[in-house]
A and B are shown apart, each in its own frame.
Chain A
Amino acid sequence: MSFEILLSNAAALVVVVPLLGGAIAMLLGSSRLAWSWSLICALATFSLSLVLLSGVLSGENISYEMGAWVSPLGILFEIDALNVLLITLVSAMGLLALLYGLPTIDQEIDRHKHAMFFGTFLICVAGLIGVSITGDAFNVFVFLEVSSISTYVLVAMGSKQNRQALTASFNYLILGTIGATFFVIGVGLLYMATGTLNMVDISRVLAETGSDRVVRAAFAFIVIGLGLKIAMFPLHTWLPNAYSFSPSMIGVFLASTATKVALYMLIRFLYTVFSAGQSFETAMFDYVLAPMAVTAMIVCSVQASFQSDVRRLLAYSSVAQIGYMLLGLSMGTVAGLAAGLIHLFNHALMKGALFMAVGIAGLGLGVVRISEMRGLGKTMPLTAAGLTIAGLSLMGVPLTAGFISKYYLVIAALENGWWWAVVAIVVSSVLAIFYVGRMIEVMYLQEPPKTADDAVVTVRSPILPLVALYVLVIANVWFFFDPSLPMGLANTAANELIGGAGS
């Protein structure tokens, strides 16, 4: 009986458990206790998201009425193939980041702040899941702010290591708030035009009344607002610092989830709310999104190549990779959108792994710059191997998940006749080979720094971070051989989104 209650309310609980868990975690005085509690909450959240996933995989979309109020009056949760992918991803990454985080947090944050830190982290996870799950445009804003404000705080916690975390967090706060405010203006204009806030309902009314100037302005405000949160080129300036100066556990989590969730929102608005195929939207795709995506792919890859700080390199590469995803969704075809979604999923796996590996290296040897990674293949063989595999995945080498998404992206681009996009993908991949290759070269071909007695020291890494790292590394390989889960979901989602709009 009680188990049934649990299952039938999984949609609400997947948000509520980490929220309440976070509120309790902040009260637990001891660092270990708070961490264990957070881990339990994250595990529970992940299990709940699996319940939702299995529900959607069995072919039924789930909807959940908050407070049992019917749709346009109350807030409706709607779960389909598209957002269940995100929910699972966020809860899984939350769990892995926690598993990974304990030793690094010990080093990076004062002990008496740990309980509150883990509480904030859980709230951040809950916020991101809330954004993904809700079907109400204004509720999106509320949870976007739950996740953003907690993110600003979490990023600022890197200030014990480097004071630049403070300015990074502040800039993120300013730009993030401007983005959120733009989003609110957009939602307000939409409400002005339609009188409702439920996204499906908005699109229903829009389909009846057609678009006018208010709707078009709303569209522009929402795209820019979310663009800031996605770090869409050229609105990405906050991202590199925020990722590279935050505590390493937060870097791992943000790199693999935060921008992805905002990107999901953009997809939702582009395809569900504003039904695709309207003239102004197609123009937006062809002349704004796609060119920006391509520019991001190339420019930011180049910038990544010039970084000496490893985490900044990875951060710039993230902006470039977001370009891949935007390129996929701006094609406006089922194949393109699906490819973008698969890349979204795979990129979370590889970037998560890369940030983890770099974090472990930092823990053992204080590595910050690429030059300091000399001989990592000898001193920390396991970490270096993980870093290499994830790096190969980032390049898109066969036998890794990265290959799958690039492959489908290229196919989709060719189908569309966008040869210039294919060229951009190739150029950007070559650049990726360059910057990833540089790390691999330093790790394996250069000699490790010698100690006085001329012996190579191997550094033992703590076990939990390695476990988390290898879960992701194995996932990177696994989803090459068996990509059916993300591909199945991505294809269903793309078909629903574009098919639904076309009919």
Chain B
Amino acid sequence: MMTGLYVVISTGNLVKKLVGIGLFQTSVFQLYISLSKVRGAQPPIIEKPAKYGDAVKSAGEKSAETVTDLLAKIPEVTALDPASVYDPLMGVAYSNPLPHVLILTAIVVGVATLAVGLALVVRIREAYGTIEEDAIDDAEYKAEVNAS
């Protein structure tokens, strides 16, 4: 993670800067995903309700736990021991799906930023003939001097 940040700040090359941003973000993704891992667990794809309709039948008129029921138990949930916690999931442990969702979103946001950034780099190259920060600053300085 730190290497990515280092690249962003240290390099003067605009493309390399964007690579650094990418590295930095990918590392943050790793932070999120690593905290979602549950030891010995499976990916969060539940085996049980294999077909649509199964759950409706097995759950009856939603007699099983609904969200509201779960919410009523918030204080307990954190205190429950793992065995009983995983009970409704047929005794199978799954890794935490929430960080996965967040990171899916973050990856997409990342590539969107990257696309805009690269488009800008291309235009900067056309306008200045370089993609090195120092050279761009020089060019601006010269333009300023010529103008005044």
What residues of chain A have their CB less than 8 Å away from a CB belonging to chain B?
69-73, 138, 141-142, 145, 149, 152-153, 156, 159, 163-164, 166-167, 169-170, 173-174, 177-178, 181, 184-185, 188, 191-192, 195, 197
B70-114 with Cβ < 8 A to chain A: 71, 74, 78, 98-99, 102, 105-106, 109, 112-113
CB-CB under 8 A from A197, the residues of chain B are 98
**Are A170 and B117 interface neighbours, CB within 8 A?**
yes
Do A156 and B24 form a contact, CB below 8 Å, given A142-B109, A178-B8, A191-B99? no
Q: Are B24 and A181 in contact (CB under 8 A)?
A: yes
Q: Report whether B120 and A169 are in contact in the complex, using a CB–CB cutoff of 8 Å.
A: yes
**Among B71, B112, B123, contact of A166 (Cβ-Cβ < 8 Å):** B123
A149 near B71: Cβ-Cβ < 8 Å: no
Interface 0/1 of B1-31, CB less than 8 Å to A:
0000100100000100100010011001001
- Residue in chain B with minimal CB distance to A172: B120
Chain B residues contacting A173 (CB-CB under 8 Å) are 113, 116-117, 120
**Total number of residue pairs linking A and B with CB closer than 8 Å:** 81
Instruction: Kindly list the 4 A-B residue pairs having the minimum CB-CB distance in the complex, ordered from nearest.
Output: A163-B127, A170-B120, A145-B109, A166-B124
Whether A70 and B116, one on each chain, are in contact in the complex, defined by CB atoms closer than 8 angstroms, is no
User: Within the complex, what minimum Cβ distance (angstroms) separates A45 from chain B?
Assistant: 23
- Distance from A163 Cβ to chain B, minimum over Cβ atoms (Å): 4
Sample of 13 A–B contacts (CB below 8 Å): A141-B106, A141-B109, A152-B116, A152-B120, A153-B116, A156-B120, A166-B124, A173-B117, A174-B117, A178-B5, A184-B28, A185-B28, A188-B35
B140 at the interface (CB under 8 A from A): yes
Contact across chains for A145 and B113 when beta carbons are under 8 A apart: yes
Residues of A with C-beta under 8 A to B28: 181, 184-185, 188
Cα–Cα distance between A197 and B98 once the two chains are bound (Å): 10
With a 10 A CB-CB cut-off, give which of B8, B31, B68, B123 has the most chain A CB atoms.
B123
Which A residues are CB-close (under 8 A) to B112? 145, 149
* Given A69-B67, A70-B67, A170-B121: A178 in contact with B24 (beta carbons within 8 A): yes
What is the CA–CA distance of A163 and B102 in the complex, to the nearest angstrom? 36
Alpha-carbon separation in the docked complex, A181 to B107 (Å): 11
A201 → chain B, closest Cβ, in Å? 9
Residues of chain A within 8 A of B67, CB atoms compared: 69-70, 73
B14 proximity list for chain A (CB < 8 A): 170
Q: How far is the CA of A324 from the CA of B5 in the complex (A)?
A: 31
Q: How far is the CA of A169 from the CA of B136 in the complex (A)?
A: 14
Chain B interface residues toward A at CB < 8 A: 5, 8, 14, 17, 21, 24-25, 28, 31-32, 35, 67-68, 71, 74, 78, 98-99, 102, 105-106, 109, 112-113, 116-117, 120-121, 123-124, 127-128, 136, 140
The answer to whether B113 and A164 touch across the interface, beta carbons within 8 angstroms, is: no
Residues of chain A with a CB closer than 8 A to B78's CB: 195
Closest residue of A by beta carbon distance from B75: A208
Give which listed residue, B21, B35, B120, contacts A177 with CB less than 8 A.
B21
Choose among A149, A166, A184 the residue that contacts B113 (Cβ–Cβ < 8 A).
A149
Q: Which of A70, A141, A159, A195 contacts B127 (CB 8 A)?
A: A159
B25 touches A70 (CB 8 A): no
Is the pair B106, A166 in contact by a Cβ cutoff of 8 Å?
A: no
A70 in complex: contacting residue of B24, B71, B98, CB < 8 Å: B71
How many angstroms between the C-alpha atoms of A24 and B50 in the bound complex? Answer: 40
Least distance between B38 CB and chain A CB atoms (Å): 13
Assess whether B35 is in contact with A163, with CB atoms less than 8 Å apart.
Answer: no
Smallest beta-carbon distance A89→chain B, Å: 25
Residues of B with C-beta under 8 A to A170 = 14, 117, 120-121, 124
Known: A170-B14, A174-B17. Is A163-B128 also a contact (CB below 8 A)? yes
Distance between Cα atoms of A259 and B28 in the complex (Å): 25
Q: Give chain A nearest CB distance to B70 CB in angstroms.
A: 8
CA distance A6 to B17 in the complex (A): 46
In the bound assembly, the distance between CA atoms of A178 and B109 in angstroms comes to: 13
Q: How far is the CB of B133 from chain A (nearest CB, A)?
A: 8
Q: Which residues of B contact A166 (CB under 8 A)?
A: 120, 123-124, 127
Q: Which of A70, A163, A174, A188 contacts B68 (CB 8 A)?
A: A70
A164 CB contact (under 8 Å) in B32, B106, B120, B140: B140
- With the chains together, A156 CA to B74 CA distance in Å? 48
A8 to chain B, nearest CB (A): 21
Given A70-B68, A173-B113: A167 in contact with B21 (beta carbons within 8 A): no
- Given A70-B68, A153-B116, A174-B21 contact (CB < 8 Å): yes
- Provide the residues of chain B in CB contact with A72, threshold 8 Å: 71, 74
Residues of A within 8 A of B17 (CB): 174
Bound together, the chains give a CA A159 to CA B119 distance in angstroms of 13
Q: Are B21 and A188 in contact, CB atoms less than 8 angstroms apart?
A: no
A191 to B24 CA separation, bound complex (whole angstroms)? 19
**CB <8 Å contact, A156 and B117:** no
Contact B116 A149 (CB under 8 A): yes
Q: For B116, list chain A residues within 8 Å (CB).
A: 149, 152-153, 173
